[in-house]
Structure 1
Amino acid sequence: MKHVLLFGAGKSATCLIDYLLANAPKYKWHLTVVDSDLLLIKSKIGKSYYASPAAIDIKDQAERQKLIQETDLVISLLPPHLHITIAKDCLKFKKNLLTASYIDPEISKLAKDIEDANLLFMYEMGLDPGIDHMSAMKLIHSIEKKGGQIFSFKSYCGGLVSPDSNDNPWEYKISWNARNVVLAGSSGAIYREKGKIKELGYKQLFDHNKTVNIPGLGKLAFYPNRDSLNYIDLYNLQNIPTFMRATLRYPDFCEGWNALIKLGLTKDADKFDTSNLSFLKWSTRAVKMDKSLTIEDNMANFLGVTGKSKVIKQLKFLGIFSEELINLGDKNDAEILQHVLENQLRMEPHDKDMIVMLHEIDFERRDLNTKMQSYMIVQGEDNLRTAMAKTVGLPLGILAKMVLLDKVDLKGLHIPVLPSIYNPVLKELEEHDIRFEEIFD
């Protein structure tokens, strides 16, 4: 019996665990789930004969390495900064590694060692990054195979709240790691547009966002991702005039987030004592308060909106005009905001999320210009089996099955841009109602 070791039992792990356990009786493998929270692990694996919990501190080297030594395949859904620890152990004990996180400089330094050890480390094997790469490369290769010349590529993806559960002024609920939500966009963005390199700072990203139209949903706002240029070579589109990867949100979210940035509430900087600090004092530190005006009007004047605008309603909804003490000990702004979002924008048991992905490709073939739109909409089942958990977890699960069945003839450090990976994975994803529709103009 082969063994699979999964690090992390959080929000994105639910559907991956379901998939691996559903296939375990047929393929005879055993899953060990590692997390610091034993009750969380047990809630995910139930009483399955094919699963075991391992509640350890990930920093406990002896316990961690013992588990890795005894397994056949490692999957990591830990916070990104912890992947390198797992990766070094996998390299040491010669174990293949799968993760949904980005390739970073630290793992890139190990690329030759990974290849020399005849191992497969597949990174970016989730949703975004993951399904975005696979679906994009399938389209790009298909167009090029037919003699098409691509001159514009734009890819958008967003984790949103389903229209059925869209009941707050932010039009957003937390369906994945809240810290990632808080820090999204903080590094600014760089992309290529009409042959020119465009760079936007954090404060520009959410200001006056452009929109795209999604069939059946209408207009969604987007902001460019951190570094689109990094993928031009990987997609083999070196000479393309326009190349951009972006994040989708409902338009109201972007306006509200822009206000939080202006107020300085998203900074991931120095910590300070919150014991005697109210949410109101925290949120209005940048505002020159006029005692003759209401809190709402003071805030509105600072932000350049009216006191009855939807932005003020959004801020009030978060509870940051409250005199209640924060009392979280030493925290920075981003950590306080994360706490606020986790409480005020949490998904209730009946809530559903939604994943939307869109590729827009302009290409020329036989002197005919064509615009293609390829889009995917995935609805979550509930607040546990979310669309986010489904689209992050299932690609990892499918590839894990392929690796365990020796159906992957690939070694080294990779992301899923090769036909031998994306064709079978995308095909099986369709069996789980994760599929793309195409429109040509």
Structure 2
Amino acid sequence: MTEGTGGTAKEAAPASGTVHWIGAGLSTGSGLAALCDTADRVRLWHRTEERAADALAALGLTGRAEPRAYTLAALAADLAPGDVVVSMLPAPEHAPLLATAIERRAHFACSSYVSDAVLDQVPAAEAEGLTVLTEAGLDPGIDHLFAHSLIARAERAVGVDTAATYTLTSYCGGIPAVPNDFKYRFSWAPAGVLNALRAPARYIEDGAETTAARPWEATRPHVIDGETFEAYPNRDSVPFLRQYALPAAWKPRTFVRGTLRLDGWRTAWAPVFAELERGDDERIAALARELAATYPTTEADRDRVVLAVSL
């Protein structure tokens, strides 16, 4: 989506046909391949040109994208008006990357939740006719589309002025197709997985706002097509009540966006939770590296993704 402010915007900057994909971690794969099929030019930026080239080779994309050594200054020098910057970097790095994109009149996209630091730059992007696209992944992203579809169908069936209570749950998770003893394999940044668990979760339960300081302690069974998973709230669900624009006559009984894990996950991760409770940043960073080495997603593994949105 383009984040708008209601101000005066220039006509949309025409696309140049060049896409700059920034980062080549565990989440880089089919998306980059799809761009190689459709864009005129694709450049993959990684820590070194050699590592970018190795990433392209591993994905079977050698010769279909140009490897580049990433620094913000090097990217800025290469950007041209109408280029598109796709950020696969950690969320804190999106804002400076967006600032550079706006300065060079390039469009920007990422799959992460929109942050205040990104949102604050939208007026400047809009003034230049640029698109800022966030939350453009599976979760967040496709889950939003499912929620809006369900709400539209419910409005037609129930009526927007009819008093009603509702439960809306939106759960998503990447899990190993073949369960292991840890009930998980790391298919994206391990530090990100652990740090997400350290953030309190806010949601609606029994009609009232609830906060779980330790999200895993709010884990509940969740059955999908006869299969039992474990689900826990993630981040702050409450602002999405407004974003989803549910009718004012409807009152939420439960409203939660969260994460799905295999049944038995909470028990298997008990030692991890103990470390998170102690809150030693250096130890948690080391633990992330240890777990990634012990439970990686390899070429022999199949990563199963489950998304379930219910109203």
- The question of a shared fold, defined as TM-score above 0.5 by the shorter chain, is answered with yes
Listed as ranges, the matches of 1:251-270 within 5 Å are 251-264=263-276, 267=279, 269=281
2:219/2:233 contact within 8 Å kept: no
2:276/2:284 contact within 8 Å kept: no
Structure 2 residue corresponding to 1:161, chosen from 136, 153, 176: 176
Say yes or no: does 1:183 pair with 2:195: yes
Q: Deviations over 1:16-72 (max 9, x none)?
A: 111112335xxxx110111114344223434654421111334xx2x1201223662
Say yes or no: does 1:2 pair with 2:13: no
How far apart, CA to CA, are the structure 1 residues paired with 2:117 and 2:78? 23
1:30/1:51 contact within 8 Å kept: yes
Say yes or no: does 1:226 pair with 2:235: yes
Say yes or no: does 1:21 pair with 2:36: yes
Q: CA deviation at 1:115?
A: 2.1
1:5/1:75 contact within 8 Å kept: yes
**CA pair 38-71 structure 1, distance change in 2 beyond 3 A:** farther
What's 2:298 paired with? Answer: 348
Structure 1 residue corresponding to 2:119, chosen from 108, 132, 140: 108
Q: CA deviation at 1:262?
A: 2.7
1:211/1:222 contact within 8 Å kept: yes
Listed as ranges, the matches of 1:281-292 within 5 Å are none
SS at match of 2:223: strand
What's 1:243 paired with? Answer: 255
Structure 2 residue corresponding to 1:207, chosen from 217, 224, 236: 217
SS at match of 1:349: coil
What's 1:135 paired with? Answer: 146
**CA pair 199-125 structure 1, distance change in 2 beyond 3 A:** same
What's 1:198 paired with? Answer: 210
Tell me, which stretches of 5 or more residues in structure 2 are unaligned? 1-15
**CA pair 55-70 structure 1, distance change in 2 beyond 3 A:** farther
Say yes or no: does 1:84 pair with 2:95: yes
Q: Which amino acid aligns with 2:229?
A: L
How far apart, CA to CA, are the structure 1 residues paired with 2:156 and 2:45? 44
SS at match of 2:236: coil
Q: CA deviation at 1:208?
A: 6.6
**CA pair 21-268 structure 1, distance change in 2 beyond 3 A:** farther
2:231/2:261 contact within 8 Å kept: yes
Structure 2 residue corresponding to 1:151, chosen from 161, 166, 178: 166
How far apart, CA to CA, are the structure 1 residues paired with 2:263 and 2:271? 13
Listed as ranges, the matches of 1:289-308 within 5 Å are none
How far apart, CA to CA, are the structure 2 residues paired with 1:252 and 1:37? 40
1:266/1:334 contact within 8 Å kept: no
2:183/2:268 contact within 8 Å kept: no
**CA pair 40-81 structure 1, distance change in 2 beyond 3 A:** same
Q: CA deviation at 1:199?
A: 1.1
Q: Which amino acid aligns with 1:51?
A: A
Paired residues, what number? Answer: 286
Q: Which amino acid aligns with 2:286?
A: I
Q: CA deviation at 1:243?
A: 1.1
**CA pair 148-246 structure 1, distance change in 2 beyond 3 A:** farther
Q: CA deviation at 1:97?
A: 0.8
**CA pair 228-265 structure 1, distance change in 2 beyond 3 A:** closer
Listed as ranges, the matches of 1:287-366 within 5 Å are 332-361=282-311
Q: Which amino acid aligns with 1:254?
A: R
Q: CA deviation at 1:143?
A: 2.5
Q: Which amino acid aligns with 1:211?
A: P
What's 2:9 paired with? Answer: none
Tell me, which stretches of 5 or more residues in structure 1 are unaligned? 270-331, 362-441
How far apart, CA to CA, are the structure 2 residues paired with 1:208 and 1:232? 20
2:44/2:68 contact within 8 Å kept: yes
TM score, norm. by length of structure 2 = 0.85
Q: Deviations over 1:385-425 (max 9, x none)?
A: xxxxxxxxxxxxxxxxxxxxxxxxxxxxxxxxxxxxxxxxx
Q: CA deviation at 1:231?
A: 1.0
Q: Deviations over 1:126-177 (max 9, x none)?
A: 1111111122112222322444457221111111111xx32x3111100111
Q: CA deviation at 1:118?
A: 1.9
1:17/1:45 contact within 8 Å kept: no
Structure 1 residue corresponding to 2:67, chosen from 53, 74, 78: 53
Q: CA deviation at 1:240?
A: 3.2
1:156/1:357 contact within 8 Å kept: yes
What's 2:12 paired with? Answer: none
Q: Which amino acid aligns with 1:221?
A: E
What's 2:185 paired with? Answer: 173
How far apart, CA to CA, are the structure 1 residues paired with 2:123 and 2:34? 32
Q: Deviations over 1:71-98 (max 9, x none)?
A: 6211111111111111001111221111
How far apart, CA to CA, are the structure 1 residues paired with 2:82 and 2:277? 43
